[in-house]
Chains A and B, each alone.
Chain A
Amino acid sequence: MERKKTKSRREFINSSMRFGMVLALGGIGGLALRSSTKDQWVWQIDPFKCSWCGRCATNCVLNPSAVKCVHAYELCGYCDLCGGYLIPGHSDRSTAAENQLCPTAAIERKFIEEPYYEYKINEDLCIGCAKCAEGCSAFGNGSLYLQIMHHLCVNCNECAIARACPSDAIKRVKGSEPYLMKGDFTADGGET
Chain B
Amino acid sequence: MKLTSIILPLLLFLLATAIPEETFSQQRFPAPEFESGYELPDVITPEPRALALEYGDVIVLLLFLLVTSWVVIKKRSRQWILWMSVGALLYFGFWRNGCICPVGSPQNMVLSLSDPSYAVSYTVIAFFILPLIFSLSFGRVFCGSACPLGAIQDLVIVRPVSVPVWIQKSLGMFPFVYLALAVLYAATGTDFIICRYDPFVGIFRMGAEFHLIVLGISFLLTGMFVARPYCRFVCPYGALLKVTSIFSKRHLSITPNQCIQCKLCTDSCPFGAIDKPTPDKLVHDIKGRTGRFMLYAAIIPLLMLIGGLALSSSHVFLAKAHPDVYLAHLLIDNPEVMDDLNNLDVQTFLGSDRTIDELVESAGEIQASFYTGAWFTGVFIGLVAGLFLISQYIVRRRTDYEPNRGDCYSCGRCMKYCPVQK
Query: Judging by beta carbons under 8 Å apart, are A150 and B207 in contact?
Result: no
Query: Judging by beta carbons under 8 Å apart, are B34 and A28 in contact?
Result: no
8 Å CB interface, A95-118 against B: 112-116, 118
Give, as a whole number of angstroms, the nearest-CB distance from B103 to chain A.
10
Residues of chain A within 8 A (CB-CB) of B205 are: 61-62, 154
Residues of chain B within 8 A (CB-CB) of A131 are: none
Give, as a whole number of angstroms, the nearest-CB distance from B359 to chain A.
12
8 Å CB interface, B320-372 against A: 323, 344-345, 347-349, 351-352
Query: Judging by beta carbons under 8 Å apart, are A151 and B36 in contact?
Result: no
Smallest Cβ-Cβ distance to A183: which chain B residue:
B26
A33 in contact (CB, < 8 A): yes
Give, as a whole number of angstroms, the nearest-CB distance from A27 to chain B.
11
Quick check: which of B81-89, B114-122, B311-319, B380-388 contacts chain A, the rest being far away?
B114-122
Smallest Cβ-Cβ distance to B347: which chain A residue:
A166
Count chain B residues whose beta carbon lies closer than 8 angstroms to a beta carbon of A: 77
Bound Cα distance from A146 to B247, whole angstroms: 51
Query: Judging by beta carbons under 8 Å apart, are B27 and A178 in contact?
Result: no
B43's partner among A3, A35, A73, A79 (CB-CB below 8 A) is: A73
Query: Judging by beta carbons under 8 Å apart, are A157 and B104 in contact?
Result: yes
Bound Cα distance from A13 to B27, whole angstroms: 71
Given A157-B104, A158-B191, A167-B348, A141 contacting B48 (CB threshold 8 A): no
0/1 interface trace, chain B 23-56, chain A, CB 8 Å (1 if under): 0011111111011101011011111110100100
Residues of chain A within 8 A (CB-CB) of B113 are: 31-32, 35
A166's partner among B43, B345, B396 (CB-CB below 8 A) is: B345
A8 in contact (CB, < 8 A): no
Residues of chain B within 8 A (CB-CB) of A118 are: 38, 41
A75 in contact (CB, < 8 A): yes
B38's partner among A6, A51, A81, A112 (CB-CB below 8 A) is: A112
Query: Judging by beta carbons under 8 Å apart, are A32 and B109 in contact?
Result: yes
B31's partner among A62, A75, A158, A167 (CB-CB below 8 A) is: A75
Query: Judging by beta carbons under 8 Å apart, are B29 and A140 in contact?
Result: yes
Query: Judging by beta carbons under 8 Å apart, are A70 and B43 in contact?
Result: yes
Bound Cα distance from A17 to B406, whole angstroms: 14
Bound Cα distance from A113 to B362, whole angstroms: 52
Bound Cα distance from A156 to B8, whole angstroms: 46
Given A39-B121, A77-B9, A153-B48, A71 contacting B43 (CB threshold 8 A): yes
A-binding residues in B (CB < 8 A)? 1, 4-6, 8-10, 12-13, 25-32, 34-36, 38, 40-41, 43-49, 51, 54, 97, 99-100, 104, 107-109, 112-113, 116, 118-123, 125, 128-129, 132-133, 136, 191-192, 195-196, 202, 205, 207-208, 243-244, 247-249, 323, 344-345, 347-349, 351-352, 396-397
**Contacts A41-B121, A51-B351, A154-B205 given; 15 further ones with Cβ under 8 A?**
A33-B125, A36-B112, A38-B122, A40-B49, A40-B51, A61-B205, A63-B207, A140-B29, A155-B49, A157-B99, A163-B196, A167-B352, A175-B48, A178-B48, A186-B25
B-binding residues in A (CB < 8 A)? 3, 6, 10, 14-15, 17-18, 21-22, 25, 28-29, 31-33, 35-42, 51, 53, 55, 61-63, 70-81, 93, 112-116, 118, 120, 123, 139-141, 147, 149-151, 153-158, 163, 166-168, 172, 175, 178-179, 181, 186-187
Name the 3 nearest CB pairs between A and B, nearest first: A77-B29, A115-B5, A166-B348
